[in-house]
A = this chain, B = another copy of it.
Amino acid sequence: MNSMRNALFADLYELTMAACYFENKMFAPATFSLYIRKYGANRSYFVSAGLEEVLEYLESFQFAPNELDFLASTGLFRTDFLNYLEKLRFTGEIFAIPEGTLFFKDEPILEITAPIIEAQLIESFVINAINLQVSIASKAARCTHAAKGKNLVDFSLRRTQGTDAGMKAARASFIAGFGATSNVLAGKHYGIPLSGTMAHSFILSFKEEIEAFRAFARTFPDRTVLLIDTYDTLCGAKKAAQVGREMSQRGLSLKGVRLDSGDIAKLSNEVRQILDEAGLGQVIIFASGGFDEFEIEEVLSKGARIDGFGVGTKMGVSADAPYNDIAYKMVEYDGRPALKLSRAKKTLVDRKQVFREKRDGKMSGDTIGLRSESLPGAPLLECMMREGKRLSPPEALPQIRQRFLGEFESLCEAYRATKNPKTYPVGLSPMLEAAQSKAIRDVKKRELGESS
């Protein structure tokens, strides 16, 4: 429902290259590696997310008749190739890092081995799916860290980049420690707990603010959170306190108030005092309006008395790092290592594995090695799919979230810092280094005429 399964979700060159492979009878297996080349501002880790969508896509990959008709209408492709596409399914193998796991720059999050046409045609979808959820989960993890245990609610739906992103922001932020979402469809589709209060328009639609408060409390006596900044936050707090006392007299309990503007640190203390003086110590204060990890950290450091945050736009678009330098690169074809020469951008050849070591329960360093190696530490990439069939059913979202929370706990504070974090150590194994050097020498000799 929330992902686009079309096989035409592809860049044209994937199809033109495939046509050329077909014409040249190139059906040998290729391995492509997906990895991120750089950290965004203040970033020092990534959270794996999006794999489930990729596995679903690959398992059902096929061209629909109307898609083939469209390709025929372009006049670019021969009939024998289109007939071949009609029967094409994904028959490859996937190694990947499970969702909710932390990973780092240059580490393959996913490696696909499949006949080259299959591995090439799925490129854009695979990058798109993983990139989005990794971006959002990584940003959301930073918010979780800054919130120091306060409840976080995904409020991003309205300003995410499109409907698919709206759904994935709810999923990825829940994986990364958020407690709920305002997105009703995500509640339905993913089983994420729902949360919501009221909008300013609700207050405005009543003749007086306090009447709006009373009406909402009548309809939702168990879960009333009053938005108090429509006219003036402190006036609003006093009216909320009055409604809270009225509810208490009826044996009910006002759940909370929400602040959405102004100096949240200062206002939250003043509102807390108003509520406490009214005997409403149990009423929580919830804050929203432009929060991300930086603002959360700032208001908490200033002594804000906030019990939970609605985190919206900046998390939902990963505003300070709205994309990753993510690459899907061929690292092996027909048994030979494949390597693009580039001073700026490093591709690591061959099928790989990441080995993670721990010391005293904390992650101490990763080594990227060849997949055939056995190195100290736990291997991160697992075989998820073989011959186009997944090896296990989808993981439950709470289980992925639990994995993330465990992983995040084992990452030292220096790497989790909101600003200027330390760089986590990732090395290459001597065997990978040797394979890499040999591949570079071979390419230079072959293509540039340099002697080794």
| Interface residues, chain A, with chain B CB atoms under 8 Å away | 1-4, 6, 8-17, 19-21, 23-24, 26, 30, 32, 67, 70-71, 74, 76, 116, 120, 123-125, 127-129, 131-132, 135, 155, 157-168, 182-185, 187-188, 194-205, 207-209, 215-216, 218-220, 223, 230-232, 235, 261, 313-314, 317-319, 322-324, 326, 328-330, 333-334, 338-342, 344-345, 443-444, 446-448
Contacts and interface: CB of A to CB of B under 8 A. Distances in A.
Nearest to A127: B158
A99 to B, nearest CB: 16
A323 B159 contact: yes
B329 A200 contact: yes
B199 A128 contact: no
B185 A6 contact: yes
Given A4-B164, A11-B183, 20 more contacts: A1-B6, A8-B188, A12-B187, A12-B194, A16-B197, A16-B220, A24-B219, A32-B201, A70-B184, A70-B188, A159-B324, A160-B162, A161-B161, A161-B317, A161-B322, A205-B338, A235-B448, A313-B323, A317-B317, A317-B322
A321 B339 CA distance: 35
Given A163-B164, A261-B344, A201 B11 contact: no
Q: Which of A14, A67, A235, A329 has the most CB atoms of chain B within a 10 A radius of its CB?
A: A14
A184 B10 contact: yes
Contacts of A209: 447
B162 A232 contact: no
Contact of A9 (B6, B24, B185): B185
A199 B17 contact: yes
A323 B158 CA distance: 10
Contact of A198 (B16, B74, B158): B16
Contacts of A17: 198-199, 201-202, 216
11 contacts: A9-B183, A10-B185, A16-B196, A20-B202, A20-B216, A20-B219, A30-B205, A128-B160, A132-B161, A209-B447, A231-B444
A128 B163 contact: yes
B197 A13 contact: yes
A57 to B, nearest CB: 10
Nearest to A81: B219
Identify the 8 closest CB pairs spanning chains A and B, nearest first: A12-B196, A162-B164, A201-B330, A161-B161, A13-B196, A4-B163, A204-B338, A322-B322
Nearest to A200: B340
Nearest to A126: B158
A229 B4 CA distance: 32
Nearest to A217: B20
A235 to B, nearest CB: 6
Given A11-B183, A329-B200, A26 B205 contact: yes
A256 to B, nearest CB: 13
A182 B328 CA distance: 17
Nearest to A119: B201
A304 to B, nearest CB: 18
A19 B71 CA distance: 48
B4 A333 contact: no
B341 A231 contact: yes
A48 to B, nearest CB: 17
B330 A124 contact: no
